[in-house]
């Protein structure tokens, strides 16, 4: 991704590229044990950053990270929660961005993004895709077997229960959906390129969910595909989505056998409306959402398996701060109602070992700056 010195209205860490899909069916998700609107949010935004975007938040075994871009000097960000505030960790690149971060067991972490090389003034600037590892003390770049002279970007990173690291993105190509770029690192430290057959490919990798070595879900620019340890299978999404342009930006597991994916559907009247899909009893369904202008970019589930889905709206009548959060009401429907204090555009969500929900993003300052934002729901 290029830097945001022009300060676009909707900065984003990874592309919500358009794919062909569709629809709307009546669906109740199940009774919620309690109203999500009783939850208590508090802002824990980092101090000392006047113009920054926090693209992701990730937590594991009591360690929480948030990451993104310091717009003021185009430098990558990786901040670690110390219990009372955020500590900025030194980066191995002076300029670039962290698009996605994954906290891992044992205090480790993985991050993907790009580093800027060369200068704009001399016409030599180039964004080089990066994967970096936090060993508990410092960040170091990984040496990757990337295709020679590839123009590529990484947007997704996740770690399987066994310790396999999955990183994904896309290669530049003539295909609007991008050419997939997917790599794995074994627990022994060996990096490999992973090929997805053409009939199972879904374009550039936007989000990856490795539940086991033989149960990996991948959201791409053209849909969802699944790996069973041997074979990749492109998922058959709801038929009523055929003919509509849509994008998915995140995927998560609610419980064994139930997978959710969120994003947007292009709409003639609303421009973009939120879309939520779930795999239930072996079939993908669309979960009804409010019919209003918004796109969804992150999803997690609380301790009662209730979804917390975050994104942004472009309609000040929906929310003047552009915040968009969907939770579940007592009847089991997705509704908009929660408002983390002082929030703006939200790009990611995760749950920690204490059952707290973390969200990250950025606010639009009247002066044109991006004010970094993190909140936690106790």
pLDDT digits (tens, 9 = 90+) for 356-377: 999 999 999 888 899 999 999 9
The alpha carbon dihedral of 218, 222, 224, 225 has a sign of negative
pLDDT confidence tier of residue 128, bands split at 50, 70 and 90 = confident
Token pair of 88 as six digits: 């900025």
Residue 28: other Cβ atoms inside 10 A: 10
- Mean pLDDT within 120-140: 84
pLDDT confidence tier of residue 11, bands split at 50, 70 and 90 = very low
pLDDT confidence tier of residue 6, bands split at 50, 70 and 90 = very low
pLDDT confidence tier of residue 239, bands split at 50, 70 and 90 = confident
Residue 229: other Cβ atoms inside 10 A: 9
The pLDDT mean for the chain works out to 88
319-362 pLDDT, tens per residue? 999 999 999 999 999 999 888 999 999 999 999 999 999 999 99
CA distance 93 to 75: 8
Please give the model's pTM, rounded to 2 decimal places. Answer: 0.90
pLDDT at 174: 54
CA distance readout (Å), 58 to 78, 82, 217, 231, 366 = 11, 14, 18, 29, 29
pLDDT confidence tier of residue 123, bands split at 50, 70 and 90 = low
Task: Give the neighbor-by-neighbor strand order of the sheet with 271-280.
Answer: 19-21, 244-255, 258-267, 271-280, 283-287
- Mean pLDDT within 139-148: 89
Rounded to 5 degrees, φ, ψ at 36 are: -70, -20
**pLDDT top residue among 38 and 244:** 244
Task: Specify burial of residue 327 (Cβ count, 10 A radius: 0-12, 13-18, 19+).
Answer: buried
169, 128 in Cβ contact below 8 A? no
SS3 376: strand
- Mean pLDDT within 110-139: 84
- Mean pLDDT within 171-184: 74
Gyration radius from the chain CA atoms:
19
The pLDDT of residue 34 is above 50: no
The pLDDT of residue 23 is above 50: no
322 sits in the region (left: phi over 0; alpha: psi -120 to 50; else beta) called left
The pLDDT of residue 201 is above 60: yes
């Amino acid at each position: 991704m290029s830097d945001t010195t022009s300060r676009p209205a909707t900065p984003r860490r990874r592309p919500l590229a358009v794919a062909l899909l569709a629809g709307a069916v009546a669906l109740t998700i199940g009774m919620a044990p309690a109203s999500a609107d009783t939850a208590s949010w508090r802002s824990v935004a980092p101090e000392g950053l006047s113009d920054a975007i926090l693209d992701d938040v990730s937590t594991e075994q009591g360690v929480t990270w948030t990451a993104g871009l310091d717009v003021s000097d185009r430098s990558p960000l990786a901040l670690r929660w110390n219990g009372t505030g955020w500590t900025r960790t030194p980066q191995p690149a002076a300029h670039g961005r962290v698009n996605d971060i994954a906290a891992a067991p044992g205090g480790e972490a993985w991050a993907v993004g790009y580093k800027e090389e060369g200068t704009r003034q001399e016409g030599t600037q180039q964004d080089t895709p990066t994967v970096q590892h936090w060993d508990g003390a410092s960040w170091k770049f990984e040496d990757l077997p990337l295709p020679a002279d590839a123009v590529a970007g990484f947007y997704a990173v996740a770690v399987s229960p066994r310790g396999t690291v999955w990183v994904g993105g896309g290669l530049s190509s003539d295909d609007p959906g991008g050419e997939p770029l997917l790599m794995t690192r074994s627990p022994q430290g060996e990096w490999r390129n992973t090929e997805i057959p053409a009939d199972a490919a879904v374009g550039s990798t936007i989000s990856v969910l490795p539940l086991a070595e033989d149960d990996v879900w991948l959201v791409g620019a053209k849909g969802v595909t699944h790996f069973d340890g041997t074979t990749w299978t492109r998922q058959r999404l709801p038929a009523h989505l055929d003919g509509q342009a849509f994008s998915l930006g995140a995927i998560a597991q609610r419980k064994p056998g139930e997978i959710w994916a969120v994003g947007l559907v292009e709409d003639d009247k609303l421009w973009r409306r939120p879309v939520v899909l779930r795999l239930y009893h072996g079939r993908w369904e669309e979960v009804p959402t409010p019919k209003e202008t918004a796109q969804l970019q992150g999803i997690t589930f609380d301790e009662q398996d209730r979804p917390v889905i975050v994104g942004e709206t472009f309609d000040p009548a929906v929310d003047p701060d552009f915040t968009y959060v969907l939770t579940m009401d007592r009847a089991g429907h997705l509704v908009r109602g929660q408002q983390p204090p002082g929030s703006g555009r939200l790009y990611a969500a995760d749950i920690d070992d204490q059952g707290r929900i973390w969200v990250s993003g950025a606010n639009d300052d009247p002066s044109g700056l991006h004010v970094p934002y993190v909140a936690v729901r106790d």
